[in-house]
Amino acid sequence: MNLPVILINLTESRARLEHSQHELARVGLTFERLEAVDGRKMSKDELEKTTIWDKSAFFKPLSPGEVGCYLSHIAAAEKIVRENWPYALVLEDDFRLTPHFSDIISLVLRDAPKEFHIIKLQGNMSGGEAIVNLSSDHKIIRHRSIPSQTVAQLWSLD
């Protein structure tokens, strides 16, 4: 499978990088490491300049770690655009893959609605409508509200 994979990883998280390498190799995927932004190392001024959006739109103020996570995902999106990849898998370094992950991703890429932008890849989820049955155990669900987890996502260039 020729699927670009971006792994978001903090420099000091070597054990997570090793785990990620093992997990992805086990299912036959290679990846490009994207150095994560560590919001905890940003100054108060940098954080204020970065979080210029309406802070009342969130349930609570974003922590420095959440700001870093957000900036890391923006960098992943910029890489997808720069490389002109039709789609890419974006992973944070704390993911766990099912044994048949490559087969499932192949089904997602084959059967997903062509106009998809982001498909969040997660375990047991409820609260939405199944729009595609990939297998007896796997579905693409359109949720009523956006799930907050960002550990594993399939992004389209669109």
Higher pLDDT, 1 or 40: 40
Q: What DSSP designation does 107 have?
A: H
Is residue 31 a contact partner of residue 8, using CB atoms and an 8 Å limit? no
Cβ neighbours of residue 17 under 8 Å, at least 6 residues apart? Answer: 7, 9, 33, 93
| Tens-place pLDDT, residues 75-120 | 999 999 999 999 999 999 998 888 888 888 888 888 887 877 877 7
Least confident piece of the model among 49-53, 68-72, 83-87, 115-119: 49-53
Span 113-135, average pLDDT: 70
Higher-pLDDT residue of 12 and 146 is 12
Closest CA to 100 of 27, 20, 19: 27
Residue, of 146 and 46, whose pLDDT is higher: 46
pTM (two decimals) = 0.85
